[in-house]
Amino acid sequence: MVVGIIAIVFGSLGVLGGAFGCIGVFFLGSFSQLLRSVPTNGAQGAPDTAAIGRSLEAMQIPGLLISTAGLVIAILLLWGGILLARRRAEARKVLLAWAVLKALFSVAKLFFDIASTQSLLSSEAMSSADGSGMEQFVTVVAIASNMLTMVWALALPVFMFVWFRRGTIREEMGTWSSEANRPMGAVLPE
C-alpha cells in the first residue's frame, strides 16, 4: 500500500511536470525572440543573447518530445500506483514496465541534456573574449547537475525492480490474481 501511494504521489508530480514542460516549450519561441532583440551594446565578454535565443529556438521540438514522453511515463507510474493501492495483480507488470521505460528515458534525456549544453557552449553565445572561464564553470555545473539528476531519476525505478523481485512481495501479489476481475469500487472483505 505504501509503495502504491509513493507511486501515486510521484506519478502525479510527474504528470504536472510533464504537462508544464509541454506548455512551457511553447514559450521558448517568444523567449528566444526576446533574447534576440536584447542589444549587447558591444560589451566585452558579454554573451551573445541572439545566439542564445537561436539555441533555445532549436530546442523547441526536442523539448516538446521529451516533455511529452515524460508525461506519458508519469501517467504509467500513476496508473501503476493506483493499481497497486487497489491490490490489483497487474500492478507489478505495469510498474516494472514503467521502471524499464523510465530508466531508458532517463538515459536518453541525459544524452539530450549533454548535447544541448554542449551546443550552447560551443556556439558563439557563451564564448567570452576576456577568457573569464565562464565556459569551464558552466561545463562543470552541467556535468554535476546531470550526474545528480541521473541518480535521482533512477532511484525509484531501481527500487521498483528490487521490491517486485522479492519473494514475499511476489507471493502476496500472487494471491491478488483472483481479485483482478472485481470492479474498481468493490470493497475487500475484512
Q: What is the pLDDT of residues 167-188, one digit of tens each?
A: 988 888 888 854 445 555 555 5
In this prediction, residue 142 carries a pLDDT of 84
Average pLDDT taken over every residue of the chain = 82
Contacts of 100 by beta carbon, 8 Å cutoff, 6+ apart:
157
- Is residue 69 exposed (0-12), middle (13-18) or buried (19+ Cβ within 10 Å)? middle
Is 5 in contact with 85 (CB distance < 8 Å)?
A: yes
Per-residue pLDDT at 190 exceeds 60: no
Is 23 in contact with 48 (CB distance < 8 Å)?
A: no
In this prediction, residue 132 carries a pLDDT of 60
Distance of alpha carbon 14 from alpha carbon 22, whole angstroms: 12
Q: What is the pLDDT of residues 7-45, one digit of tens each?
A: 999 999 999 999 998 898 888 777 777 776 776 665 565
Q: What is the pLDDT of residues 132-157, one digit of tens each?
A: 666 778 778 888 898 899 999 999 99
Measure the N-to-C terminal CA separation of the chain; round to a whole number of Å: 16
Is 143 in contact with 113 (CB distance < 8 Å)?
A: no
